[in-house]
Structure 1
Amino acid sequence: MIAETVFSAVSAAGLGIAAITAYRRRFLRATRIAAYSLVPIGLVLTGAVEWAADTAFSPTAWAGFGLLGAAWLLFVSTRAVERRGGGTRKERKAARSAQRDAVAPAASAPSLPQDSRTATRPAPAARTTEPADDFSDIEAILKKHGI
C-alpha cells in the first residue's frame, strides 16, 4: 500500500517536471522525463509492485535467484575457458590434424650424418639465393596488385 502511494507521487512529480520543461520549450527532454515518470505508475497498475514485494520477502524466490546466478556464472566461466583454450573439442581436433599435415615430410627424417667425415665438421649453410633475390617474392606480390 505504501509502495503504491510512493510510486504514484513519484510519477506525479515527474509529470510536473516534464510540464515545466515543456514550458521552457525543451520538448525532447520533456518527453523523456514524461516517459520515465510514467514507468512507476505503470508498474503499480500492472501489479508488479505487489509481486516484487512478495518476491523480496520470499526465501524460495531468493533461492531461485541464487540458482539462476550460479547457472549464469557457470555459462560465463565455460565460455571464458573455451575462448582461452582455443575453441570447442571439435575445433581443437581439427587444428591438431591441420598442424600434423603442415609438417614437412623431410622434418620427420632422421638428421644423422651418413658419412664420418661430415660428422666431424658441420655442413656449411647453403645459400641458394642472392641478397638481391630475397625480395623477389615481395616484388611479385606488389606487381600482382599493381603497385
Structure 2
Amino acid sequence: MSDVLLFTISLAATVLGLLGSWAAYRRRGAASGMRGAAWSMVPMGAYLTGLTKFLSDLVFSPVKWAGVALFGLGALLYVASGVMLRKAPAADGGSGRKNAPKSAPKGAAAKGELQSRRPTAGPAVDPDLAEIEQILKNRGIS
C-alpha cells in the first residue's frame, strides 16, 4: 500500500475516534472521553512509527505469514514442554511422591498396617453433624 493511502486511513480513523470520544465525554463523563481519546490516537501513532506499513506488508506476504506461523509453533512447543516438565515423575524412582519410603515393611505388621489405613465400611459421618442430629432427636425433631 502506498504511504499516502495509509496516512489517509490512519488520519480518518483518528479524527472519527476523537469525534466519538467527544460524544462519549458529553454523555458519560471525562473518564470515558479520555479513554476514547487514548484509543483514537492509536491509528495515527501506528502510522507514524511504521507499524501500519509493516502490518499491510504482513497481510499480503505469504513469507511473513510463514514466519508468524513458525513463531507461533515455537511458542506452542515451549509452553507444551513446560507443562510436560511440570508433570514429569520425580527423581525418586518415578513414584511421584517426594517422601516415599525406600522399602516397605514386610510380614504381618505390614498387613496390619495396610488394613488400619483402609477406611471403615460404614458411612462417614461428620462428628459435628452427628452431634446436631443427636440434639434434634432429643428435642423430638427428626
Fold conserved between structures, TM > 0.5:
yes
Q: Give the Cα–Cα distance (whole angstroms) in 2 for the partners of residues 64 and 31 of structure 1.
A: 37
32, 38, 44: which is aligned to 2:47?
A: 44
How many residues are matched? 102
Structure 1 unaligned blocks of 5 or more: 87-91, 113-147
Q: CA deviation at 1:76?
A: 1.9
Map 1:56-67 to 2 at 5 A: 56-67=59-70
State the percentage of identical aligned residues: 29
Whichever residue aligns with residue 52 of structure 1, its letter is L
- Aligned position for 2:138: none
Whether the 8 Å contact between 1:7 and 1:40 is mirrored in structure 2 is: yes
Q: CA deviation at 1:56?
A: 2.4
Q: Give the Cα–Cα distance (whole angstroms) in 1 for the partners of residues 28 and 70 of structure 2.
A: 49
Are residues 1:82 and 2:85 paired? yes
- Aligned position for 1:11: 14
Whichever residue aligns with residue 93 of structure 1, its letter is A
Structure 2 unaligned blocks of 5 or more: 109-142
Q: CA deviation at 1:45?
A: 1.3
Q: CA deviation at 1:100?
A: 3.7
1:17-36 deviation per Cα after TM superposition (whole angstroms, max 9, x unaligned)? 22223234600000000000
53, 56, 68: which is aligned to 1:53?
A: 56
Whether the 8 Å contact between 1:11 and 1:40 is mirrored in structure 2 is: yes
Q: Measured at CA, do residues 27 and 84 of structure 1 come closer, stay the same or move farther in structure 2, by a change above 3 Å?
A: same
RMSD of the TM alignment (CA)?
Answer: 2.5
- Aligned position for 1:93: 91
TM-score of the superposition, structure 2-length normalised?
0.59
